[in-house]
Structure 1
Amino acid sequence: MIEVNGGGRPGTAVAMIVGSCTSLQFGAALAVGLIDELGSWGVTFLRLAIAAVVLMIVVRPRIGRWGRGEWTAVVAFGLVTAAMNGCFYAAIGRIPLGTTVAIEFLGPLVLAAVLSRRRADLLWVGLAFVGMALLGVDSILGASSLDPVGIVCALLAGLFWAGYILAGARVSKAVPGTGGLAAALTVSAVAMLPLGAHQAMPALHDWRILALGVATALLGSVIPYSLELSALRRVPERVFGVLLSLEPVVAVLVGLLVLHQRIGLLPALAVGAVIAASAGTTSGTSRSEGREARVDVPGQTRVLAPSQPS
């Protein structure tokens, strides 16, 4: 949605990206606490609705000037974003945050490999699947005993993440600026109404829950979104994508420090395999001109080679 500028101050950009990753995962950690009170769909609706209101007020997109093509792209982007976030929150309600983010990365990894058609990228994806196999072995041995439903939700979140990359690329071409994202988040919130509005009702009667919802929306959407847009103006996409591969690491650390979710040896190796695959695919894909698609999404900016639904 914005032009990438390789100039600027790399040190500042690195700080912004690290801040973005940290903000995203702390937002997810807050959401874990809210899930116990509102349910995963209720938290998803509350977060998307608040983020949509904030961005619509700040961006004020000129939707009256959009035609059928723009609206089709925005609605598709909004629907896939709602599904991605819903599945992600359903997953972190059942399995550790770091493990969820690692599993979710499979979606963008596979998409990047398929679109790049480079043999090296297939090898990177294979490495990521080896990491997922380690999680399976760890679960079978009873060390972590991951919830199967949580694993499925994380895989679905990854699938929708891949879909959101494609839909977001279309929005970035059809709608100038950030108005498309603001409108898409509104569509996402409306799509979540039937599933999450009733569960989110306690937030209207409990200021503590509402405050946590606002904090989740700001930490998971508004703050990282702003930081990543600014970072993209200062560093090349390759550097940006590689740095965003820190997300699983930050997720593991936040899960340990905030949620007291310990991670064993095999899960740690699995996360490491996904990080290595993400960095390798990002670096390789960025060297092929015209084969990248950059999009902005709720709470986080992505490149074709993987970098939330959060």
Structure 2
Amino acid sequence: MAEFRTSRRAQGLGLAILSALAFGGSGAVARPLIDAGLDPLHVTWLRLAGAALLLLPVALRHRSALRARPWLLLAYGAFPMAGVQALYFASIARIPVGVALLIEFLGPVLVLLWVRLVRRRPVSRGSAIGVVLAVAGLACLVEIWVGIRLDALGLALALGAAACQAGYFLLSDAEGDTVDPLAVISYGALTATALMTLLARPWTLPWNVLIGPVEVAGSTAPAPLLLAWLVAVATVLAYITGVAAIRRLTPTVAGAVAYLEVVTAIVAAWLLLGESLTTPQLIGAVIVLAGAFAAQRSIPDTAPATANAQTRDGHEPPVRA
């Protein structure tokens, strides 16, 4: 039995790392498509529509979930899938990929601020420390001492992605939830695609961009290949392996591994886009991650984390971009 548990944890760790790596590359893969002329909303729609199509068999097998928790599925589609991804892709068109993802990971910090300032409920000392660290790290990221060098709209969009993440934390009530996470993901993708169809208006999409090459790391790559990677690897594979991992690991371990996504995003952006962070920004990145992780581990049970990888005690890793 002990050997079985050890093997199961090892499998879970491998799957969690694979999921974080797959999620982390999404920004670096999407950015060349945006630079080639696609609107961030169009890239978001293509990603979600492709994922919804691939996950359609999963949705059909879990039709009962739609009847049992329709509002959960709608919330997941609207906030962490449509909202987070659309705002994240819009932000990386204006600020570095790594910075945008780090700001997005402030979602748990915004939850705690809402709980303390709006609901006027006490938070733990660990929560307060996490918030202070995250804010200090954010100040380093934007290099506030030189007047914030980053694009203001890009920063606002990234904060919007964090707010969508926080909004789902606050709206979701996972206590006693028995909906299969794969059902939540598949119906979330379908819901998000429907919402993004109204916003992105895919009939205006410049389809010619998707049939030619795009510039990547000083060379060129077929646009269809990047899109296929964004859909199949950075979305479908990433979500499915994340679900499989969380079922084999403790919430603390799974949550910690999830932050490898940020490291992956920074490295991928450096290799594929030539983006790099300054030394103060790298220090800020570490501080932000420490603060966000501390905040996430302190979110009250009445404001549980996302349903993308439901665990035994209601705590899950953060919403992914």
TM-score range, shorter chain: 0.7 to 0.9
1:44 counterpart residue number? 44
Say which SS state the counterpart of residue 173 (structure 1) adopts.
coil
2:157 counterpart residue number? 153
Q: TM-score scaled by structure 2? A: 0.81
What is the letter of the counterpart of residue 76 of structure 1?
A
What is the letter of the counterpart of residue 238 of structure 1?
T
Q: Does the 8 Å CA contact 1:229/1:301 hold for their aligned counterparts? A: yes
Q: Does the 8 Å CA contact 2:185/2:239 hold for their aligned counterparts? A: no
**RMSD over equivalenced CA pairs, Å:** 3.1
Q: Does the 8 Å CA contact 2:94/2:154 hold for their aligned counterparts? A: yes
Q: Does the 8 Å CA contact 1:109/1:305 hold for their aligned counterparts? A: no
Q: Return closer, same or farther for 1:65/1:146 CA change in 2, 3 Å cut-off.
A: closer
Structure 2 Cα separation of the partners of residues 8 and 282 of structure 1: 27
Q: Return closer, same or farther for 1:252/1:63 CA change in 2, 3 Å cut-off.
A: same
Q: Give the superposition deviation at 1:192.
A: 0.8
**For 1:178, which of 175, 182, 196 is the aligned residue?**
182
2:195 counterpart residue number? 191
Q: Does the 8 Å CA contact 1:7/1:235 hold for their aligned counterparts? A: no
Q: Return closer, same or farther for 1:246/1:172 CA change in 2, 3 Å cut-off.
A: farther
Q: Give the superposition deviation at 1:25.
A: 1.8
Q: Does the 8 Å CA contact 2:78/2:195 hold for their aligned counterparts? A: yes
Is 1:248 the counterpart of 2:262 in the alignment?
yes
Say which SS state the counterpart of residue 258 (structure 1) adopts.
helix
Q: TM-score scaled by structure 1? A: 0.83
Q: Return closer, same or farther for 1:309/1:237 CA change in 2, 3 Å cut-off.
A: closer
1:140 counterpart residue number? 146
Aligned length: 298
1:219 counterpart residue number? 233
Q: Give the superposition deviation at 1:39.
A: 1.1
1:3 counterpart residue number? none
2:15 counterpart residue number? 16
Structure 2 Cα separation of the partners of residues 118 and 209 of structure 1: 48
Q: Does the 8 Å CA contact 1:228/1:301 hold for their aligned counterparts? A: no
Say which SS state the counterpart of residue 235 (structure 1) adopts.
coil
Is 1:307 the counterpart of 2:318 in the alignment?
yes
Q: Does the 8 Å CA contact 1:44/1:89 hold for their aligned counterparts? A: yes
Q: Return closer, same or farther for 1:56/1:7 CA change in 2, 3 Å cut-off.
A: farther
Structure 2 Cα separation of the partners of residues 139 and 147 of structure 1: 15
Say which SS state the counterpart of residue 117 (structure 1) adopts.
coil
Q: Give the superposition deviation at 1:166.
A: 3.9
Say which SS state the counterpart of residue 94 (structure 2) adopts.
coil
Q: Does the 8 Å CA contact 1:134/1:267 hold for their aligned counterparts? A: yes
What is the letter of the counterpart of residue 157 of structure 1?
A
Is 1:267 the counterpart of 2:281 in the alignment?
yes
Q: Give the superposition deviation at 1:141.
A: 5.5
Identify unmatched segments of 5+ residues in structure 2: 116-121, 213-221
Q: Does the 8 Å CA contact 1:78/1:184 hold for their aligned counterparts? A: yes
What is the letter of the counterpart of residue 34 of structure 2?
I
Q: Does the 8 Å CA contact 1:100/1:154 hold for their aligned counterparts? A: yes
Q: Return closer, same or farther for 1:16/1:174 CA change in 2, 3 Å cut-off.
A: closer
Q: Which moved more, 1:225-234 or 1:6-15?
A: 6-15
Q: Return closer, same or farther for 1:44/1:205 CA change in 2, 3 Å cut-off.
A: closer
Structure 1 Cα separation of the partners of residues 65 and 318 of structure 2: 32
Q: Return closer, same or farther for 1:35/1:221 CA change in 2, 3 Å cut-off.
A: same
Is 1:293 the counterpart of 2:300 in the alignment?
no
State, as a whole percentage, how many aligned pairs show the same letter: 24
Identify unmatched segments of 5+ residues in structure 1: 1-5
2:34 counterpart residue number? 35
Q: Which moved more, 1:124-133 or 1:12-21?
A: 12-21
What is the letter of the counterpart of residue 232 of structure 2?
L
Q: Give the superposition deviation at 1:72.
A: 2.7
Q: Return closer, same or farther for 1:163/1:178 CA change in 2, 3 Å cut-off.
A: same
